[in-house]
Structure 1
Amino acid sequence: MSNVGLLYVGGVLFLNSIMLLGKVEGKSAGIFNLFVGVLQVITPLYLIMTAKGDTDVIFGASGIFLFGFTYLYVGITNLCKLDTSGVGWYSLWVAILAVGYSLVNFIQFGDYKFGIIWLMWAFLWTLFFILLGLKKEIGRYTGLVTLIQSWVTAAIPAFLSLTGLWDKVSPALVWIVTAVSVIAFVYFYFTAVPVSRSRASRTPSA
């Protein structure tokens, strides 16, 4: 993925996490989702058109579309106040594909760092499916997971890549960061999900 594009994936994930935590209004976040969505559609189109048949480049570009269409879909849904089920079920489809991209990075490319990151993204898209598609009350939990992933799977790797330091990061360190993140995800599940349910139960009916 383009390092510049990945940096802004971190930005939009950060903003969406704050939205899920109730600090940013949906329409306001929707505008930035559109900005990043357009970037993540133009970038892979350019990469494919200039790939000269390089299947590895085309494969990498195809993964960027998953992000681009996600953010365009979220942005339009938020701005137009549409039902979220479409975004949710699309997220399930993307989560399944993300597992495939992870396996290709592990097995074919030997890129363990992005193999791990794709697995993290698969988990995140699964949460969006549960939240938006199945309408389960995990908004706060999903927001906290998204907040962590905005940094560890996008903003920090992108910044390190732009500065030429990413190749110096060992897969072992990535595994350690992933393990710490997973522990945090488990902790948040047992602390944040009951809170969201409690708040939901106090919300008056329309």
Structure 2
Amino acid sequence: MSFVGLFLSGAVLFLNSLLIAGKAEAKSVGILNLFVGIIQIIIPFYLIISSSQDHWELYNYASIFLFGLTFLYFGATALMGLDGKGLGWFCLWVAIIAVVYTVTAIVQFHDGISALTWGMWAFLWLLFFLSNSLQMNVDRYLSMVAFVQSWVTLTIPSILYFFGVWNTPIVNQIWFFVLINSIIYFDVSLFRLRLSFMMPLIEKREVQ
């Protein structure tokens, strides 16, 4: 995916994380989602039309639509005050596609960083599904995951690419470590979240 697109996606996901946490207003965040979503629909169409039509080239450009459509759907949901269930089911579909990109990054391209990144995105889209369609109480956790991913999978990698150091061996090693530690942080936070839900039940049984 174009690193310019990743850079813009980082800004949107950062604001979306604040919206989910209740620290930003829905309509103002929705406008940015629509703006970036439109850009990430127009750009891949242009890239596909002007490409050599190689199947892997189309495969890479198609991934931009996943973000563009998500931002458009999220923005429309926020601006129109929709219940979000349709957005959630769409996010489940995107999460499944992201798993395909994760596996392909490993099997076809032998790219550990891309595999970890796509795996983290798949998890994020899954959380949006759990929150919006299944109405699970995961918004606090979702906002944290979205906030972290807006920086470690989108914004900072884009800046490093603009500086011309993203694909250097030392940066690749550092960023592999950063992504692994982010995943560990997500796991620990999820364990604490589950424990916080279980404690009232445990205390209730002890009282009985």
Q: Give me the TM-score of the superposition, normalised by structure 1.
A: 0.89
Contact 2:120 2:183 in 1 (8 A): no
1:186 and 2:160 equivalent? no
Partner of 1:73: 73
1:159 aligns with 2:159: yes
Stretches of 4+ aligned residues off by more than 3 angstroms: 169-172, 190-195
Separation of aligned partners in 2, 1:23 and 1:97: 30
Which segment is superposed worse, 106-115 or 41-50? Answer: 106-115
Report matched runs for 1:49-198 at 5 Å. 49-168=49-168, 169-191=170-192, 194=196
Change (3 A) 1:57 1:185: same
Query: Is the Cα contact below 8 Å between 2:39 and 2:68 reproduced in 1?
Result: yes
Q: 1:188 deviation in Å?
A: 2.6
Question: Which residue identity does 2:2 align to in structure 1?
Answer: S
Letter of the aligned partner of 2:113 in structure 1?
A: K
* 3-state SS, counterpart of residue 38 of structure 2: helix
Q: Which moved more, 1:72-81 or 1:157-166?
A: 157-166
Determine the C-alpha separation between the residues in 2 that align with 1:157 and 1:174: 9
Q: Deviations over 1:139-177 (max 9, x none)?
A: 111000000000011011111112211111554433311
Q: Hey, what's the Cα distance between the residues in 1 that align with 2:28 and 2:185?
A: 28
User: Which sits farther off after the overlay, 101-110 or 29-38?
Assistant: 101-110
Contact 1:2 1:43 (C-alpha < 8 Å) held by counterparts: no
Gaps of 5+ in 2: 201-208
Alignment-mate amino acid for residue 150 of structure 1: S
Contact 1:47/1:57 (8 A) holds in 2 = no
1:186 deviates by: 2.5
State the superposition RMSD in angstroms: 1.7
Letter in structure 1 aligned against 2:150? S
For structure 1, the 5+ residue unaligned runs are 199-206
Structure 1 window deviating more from structure 2 (47-56 vs 13-22): it is: 47-56
**Equivalent pairs, count:** 196
Task: Give 2:6's aligned residue.
Answer: 6
Compute the displacement of 1:98 (Å): 0.2
The higher radius of gyration belongs to: 2
Deviations 1:170-204 (A, max 9, x none): 54433311221122213333455749xx9xxxxxx
Number of the residue aligned with 1:22:
22
Change (3 A) 1:108 1:190: closer
Letter in 2 for 1:26: A
Q: Percent identity?
A: 44
- Which stretch shows the higher mean deviation, 33-42 or 53-62? 53-62
Q: Is the 8 A contact 1:144 1:188 kept in 2?
A: no
1:115 and 1:189 mapped to 2: Cα distance?
21
With normalisation by structure 2, the TM-score equals 0.88
